[in-house]
A and B are shown apart, each in its own frame.
Chain A
Amino acid sequence: MEAAELVATVLTVMWLLTLAIAMVYRCPSGILRRKTMAISSIVRKVLFRALVGLVMVYLLFAGFILWAMHQPPETFGRVMSRMPDAAYLILPFETMWTHARAGQLQNGDPAPDFSLLKLDKSDKVQLSALSSRQPVVLVFGSYT
């Protein structure tokens, strides 16, 4: 999934570049050639600047989303609630999310201990006491 996502992003950028280069270097034919040479030079400059601008906007946008992914869930949620669905298509979203939410814990690390009340309030659960008897699965989630 992540590799396909990266390929889609690279292909989008390459397509934009190819389009810009084709438009910049397309030569008009016939008797209009000399008259349009001056115009095409200006058009080339404008198109090149527009392309640079587009790439900069894309990188700034990606940087902003990456920053939001590192913020607490509520901040990230507020940013994403205003995003168009297209953001998921033009950015390597899954890759960015996986890196932003990697966390400190690695396989083999001691699991941070906790003592929390069960939902039915029948008991408190201490992770270290439970895991000393059997392996423990933790499933983090919420209803919404």
Chain B
Amino acid sequence: MYILEAHPTDVWQTESNIKEKIVFASPKDYQEREFVAGSCVRKLGIKFPAVLDGFDNSVEKAYTGWPDRIYLIDKQGRIAYKSKPGPFGFKPEELKAALEHVAK
């Protein structure tokens, strides 16, 4: 779920952005976000499907997903796991445990 940028140059660029050459301004429209998302998926080699949040950020608002967060939705359409807010709370190992629980 590709959402609004965490550290765009015009808002809150950090030193690691410059060091890792991930330097982008806030996308002005959906097409610009699409471009940055495309770079992200290609450069990081992301294999799972990426969807773009609408430019109104409605899904990010509903899930408080910014800057990064993990959710697991079960087969009844209910939230089985909601991580603490990132970056501190972004823990794939917790997702792994939740997936094992849901698989039972």
Contacts and interface: CB of A to CB of B under 8 A. Distances in A.
Interface stretch (A24-32, A42-50, A105-113): A105-113
A73 B34 contact: no
Given A131-B77, A142-B5, A98 B85 contact: yes
Nearest to A5: B88
A38 interface: no
Given A105-B82, A135-B102, A141 B68 contact: yes
A117 B41 CA distance: 15
Interface string A29-57: 00000000000000000000000000000
A138 interface: yes
Contacts of B39: 143
Contacts of B5: 142-144
Contacts of A106: 79, 82
Contact of A119 (B3, B41, B75, B85): B41
A89 interface: no
Interface string B41-84: 10110001111111000111011111111111111111111101
Contact of A143 (B11, B40, B85): B40
B97 interface: no
A111 B72 CA distance: 9
A76 B66 CA distance: 11
B71 A144 contact: no
A103 B64 contact: yes
Contact of B59 (A78, A103, A116, A144): A116
A80 B78 CA distance: 34
Contacts of A109: 78-79
A132 B66 CA distance: 26
B66 A140 contact: yes
Nearest to A113: B77
Nearest to B25: A144
Nearest to B38: A119
B63 A135 contact: no
Contacts of A103: 63-64, 82, 85
Given A114-B58, A137-B99, A142-B4, 7 more contacts: A74-B4, A125-B49, A137-B71, A138-B70, A139-B48, A141-B86, A144-B7
Interface of A: 1, 73-74, 77-78, 80-81, 94, 97-98, 101-114, 116-119, 125, 127-128, 131-144
